[in-house]
Structure 1
Amino acid sequence: MVKREKMKLWVIEALSSFGGTGWPKDVSKYIWDKYEHELKASGSLLYTWQYDVRWAAQELRNEKKLKPVYKRRDLPWELNEFNS
């Protein structure tokens, strides 16, 4: 069963595959393409996973693993240099 915390790993994995930077929609597509089966088998997470991806991104920003976006929606998500 997929736990919400696992989303943080998937966001990092997706961004790493894009060279460290990616748009939220591309990160979500990557996660769906790679982990669709796990998401469908997770039960209620299937209905909240896109929200949970955004939650994970914010948690990663709080942990200084993603660069801040300062509430802007016109910036991609980006790993901090020490993570890429």
Structure 2
Amino acid sequence: MATKGDLVEWVRDALVAAGGGATILFVAKHIWEHHESELRANDLFFTWHYDMRWAATELRKRGVMVAAEDDRRGKWTLR
């Protein structure tokens, strides 16, 4: 069963698939297209958009993503 923590890897995977940077909308679509059944399997279905943003914050803390203030609004970029 998928958990909030899985979103960290899923966000990173979406950004890798996009060539290192993408809009938040692209990331959400990518996650939905690749993990819909896992999202629907539990309460994560109701929180995954919030959790996706939390995962981006975690990736920034780990130095994997560019800091929000250093990136374009609405775009997420890997370092």
Q: Is TM-score (shorter-chain normalized) higher than 0.5?
A: yes
Which consecutive residues of structure 1, in runs of 5 or more, have no partner in the other structure?
Answer: none
Determine whether 1:78 maps to 2:72. Answer: no
Separation in 1, partners of 2:71, 2:5 = 24
Per the normalisation by structure 1, the TM-score is 0.87
What is the CA distance between 1:73 and its match in structure 2? 6.5
Q: Give 2:20's aligned residue.
A: 20
Secondary structure at 1:77's aligned position in 2? strand
Q: Matched residues in 2 for 1:73 and 1:45: separation?
A: 28
Question: Deviation at 1:72?
Answer: 7.1
Q: How far apart, in 2, do the equivalents of 1:69 and 1:58 lie?
A: 9
C-alpha RMSD of matched pairs (Å): 1.6
1:63 paired residue number = 62
- CA drift of 1:71 comes to 8.7
| Count of paired positions | 79
Alignment CA distance shift 1:2-1:77 (3 Å): same
Superposed structure 1 runs of 4+ greater than 6 Å apart: none
